[in-house]
Amino acid sequence: MAQIVAQNVWSTLGSIASLAFFIPNLSLNFRRLHDIGKSAKWLLWPVLSVLGALIAFVLVVVDLGLSISSFDSEQVFDGGSKIFLVFVFLFLVSAIVGSIVNFVFTVMPSDAEMNKYGPPPAPTTL
């Protein structure tokens, strides 16, 4: 019982910490993209791809549910389900590619000259 309570407390604290760091992390990514002269719209690529995959997955489940409810076992993966599964796969691949592209953008060096988002960041010394 104590283990279940402890796991729920740690899980809740982890969720709160994730929400607390979401806006600062998003702001950091926006600034980083602007430092290299890219629009923050690049961050939408993986998000919209995952959203598309979720929508396609829901359509697969609905289509399978309709096939099963009509007791038509021959139509379980006929028609729309195959196409929706292809869309799920394509959207997930797109999300992975978008995440890799955004990662590459985060490790690129900043522009040395001024771009349309402003002057380059001040140099840091460590």
Q: State the first-to-last Cα distance of the chain, in angstroms, to the nearest integer.
A: 48
Please, which residues bridge with residue 118 across strands?
115
Summary count for the chain: helices (H), strands (E): 3, 0
8-48 residue pLDDT tens: 777 888 888 888 898 898 898 998 898 888 999 999 999 99
Overall average pLDDT of the 74-102 stretch: 83
Domain ranges of the chain: 2-107
Q: Is 120 left (phi over 0), alpha (psi -120 to 50) or beta?
A: beta
- Answering whether pTM is above 0.85, one says no
CA gap 16, 13 in Å, rounded: 5
∠ CA 49-30-106, rounded to 5°: 80
Report which of 51, 49, 44 is spatially closest to residue 30, judged by C-alpha positions: 44
